[in-house]
Amino acid sequence: MKILITGGCGFIGSNFIRYILKNRTEATIINIDKLTYAGNLANLSDVEREYAPSRYQFMKGDIGDKEIVEDIFSGSDIDWVVNFAAESHVDRSIDKPAEFLQTNIIGTFCLLETSRKFWLDPDSDITKKRLLHISTDEVYGSLNDKGYFTEKTPYNPSSPYSASKAASDHLVYAYYRTYSLPTIITNSSNNYGPYQFPEKLIPLIINNAIKGKRLPVYGDGKNVRDWLYVGDNCSAILAILERGLPGQRYNIGANCEKRNIDIVTIICDYLDKRLGLMDGKPRRGLIEYVPDRLGHDRRYAIDASKINNELQWKPSVTFEKGIIETIEWYLKNMAWVEDIETGRYRQYYMKR
Ligand SMILES: NC(=O)c1ccc[n+]([C@@H]2O[C@H](COP(=O)([O-])OP(=O)(O)OC[C@H]3O[C@@H](n4cnc5c(N)ncnc54)[C@H](O)[C@@H]3O)[C@@H](O)[C@H]2O)c1
């Protein structure tokens, strides 16, 4: 089983590589990653030590680079492609959208074209092939107080990030409809867990709260996100690769809606107990409301009954457990955070 993972040095990709190598002994992985600011070789140093070169191989490269992607396909008989590679931060997409269009749309297009070229060849066993495109619930837009996103909810993206993901999802589905390329899409809710780049809400708040820095919260703090532990997303992705059907999309979520402000207070209160008060004061005092994000979606909530019923997948980590594991991971890995904050991680080279 040869699997091409794209964007494997990021948050979800690195967790998925570790998960599948451990749980499927027949899997061998090629990880192509451009190593943008969000890609960190340190996320996989344990994988590199344990599994390279026989079951794990890293290649620095851009998914939009046709030559590199075709070289990978001609060098190995790739069975599955799992496309995690993306520009993924909404705020950055508002400041500078161009890279989002390039990687998320054109990069995905390049993977589709290469898969089509190699997999639709008569010598290739198309029944074994899968291209799984990792997308987001943000493509559905914003909900009011009621209702849930189902797989039938029309796309209505708000940010350049979600619009670029929506465009790539449409292309992925079009390749199934037009060429019968065996593509599948996942639309998952917000992930949290180890190795998340400390610009995203949960790791940002954890790190700032540990250090006693201000805790910025957008608008009134009442925007709602539906949280999914990254390990549960990994088990869902594997279930979809093994049992999901080409041409389908699957929402992934854990039925765990939380307001942003509640996430922040949960983290503050846990750290107050775990580390003691900050200069004699509760960390909640560090909360600072800041002007709202442009076009900020109010609420996301996933109806995951399709994956629950059709693939018998269920999340296994409650938010109460997952958030403590995540906070404890960051406490243990402050050197990892510091390497990012100082920029040292850009010079990181693995010792093989
Ligand atoms: N994090 C979430 O909560 C979440 C939720 C739903 C969906 N998603 C989707 O999951 C995927 C992974 O998200 P993440 O949070 O791990 O992102 P991330 O930003 O942590 O990682 C992205 C990775 O992709 C790599 N990359 C970027 N451009 C590339 C290119 N042109 N070629 C090759 N590699 C490139 C980066 O170097 C990085 O390693 C994304 O597609 C994202 O849209 C994320």
pLDDT average, residue stretch 180-209: 98
Ligand 1 centre distance from Cα of residue 40 (Å): 12
- 9 within 8 A of 44, measured Cβ to Cβ: yes
Ligand 1 centre distance from Cα of residue 23 (Å): 22
Our answer to whether residue 161 is catalytic in this structure is yes
106: left (phi over 0), alpha (psi -120 to 50) or beta: alpha
* pTM of the predicted structure, to 2 decimals: 0.98
Sheet strands (E) in 234-304: 249-252, 257-259, 287-290
pLDDT tier at 306, thresholds 50, 70, 90: very high
pLDDT for residue 253 is more than 80: yes
Closest CA to 86 of 47, 42, 34: 34
The owner of tokens 């979520």 is 253
Ligand 1 centre distance from Cα of residue 86 (Å): 4
pLDDT for residue 285 is more than 90: yes
Q: What percent of the chain has pLDDT over 70?
A: 99
The enclosing H or E element of 28 equals strand 28-33
Of the listed ranges 149-153, 312-316, 346-350, the least confidently predicted one is: 346-350
Work out which ligand 1 atom sits closest to the CA atom of 12.
16
pLDDT per residue as tens digits for the range 10-57:
999 999 999 999 999 999 999 999 999 999 999 999 999 999 999 999
Cα dihedral angle (7, 9, 13, 17), rounded to 10 degrees? 120
The owner of tokens 């954890």 is 206
C-beta 249 within 6 A of ligand 1: no
- Measured between alpha carbons, how far is 328 from 23 in angstroms, rounded to an integer? 24
Work out which ligand 1 atom sits closest to the CA atom of 138.
6
pLDDT at 351: 47
Our answer to whether residue 292 is catalytic in this structure is no
Domains and CATH numbers, the chain: 2-189+230-253+301-316 (3.40.50.720)
C-beta 107 within 6 A of ligand 1: yes
pLDDT at 347: 82
pLDDT per residue as tens digits for the range 104-125:
999 999 999 999 999 999 999 9
Best mutation site among 11, 41, 132 for ligand 1, i.e. most ligand atoms within 8 A of its Cβ?
11
- Measured between alpha carbons, how far is 111 from 98 in angstroms, rounded to an integer? 19
Our answer to whether residue 87 is catalytic in this structure is no
pLDDT for residue 352 is more than 50: no
pLDDT for residue 349 is more than 70: no
Integer distance in angstroms from the first to the last C-alpha of the chain? Answer: 24
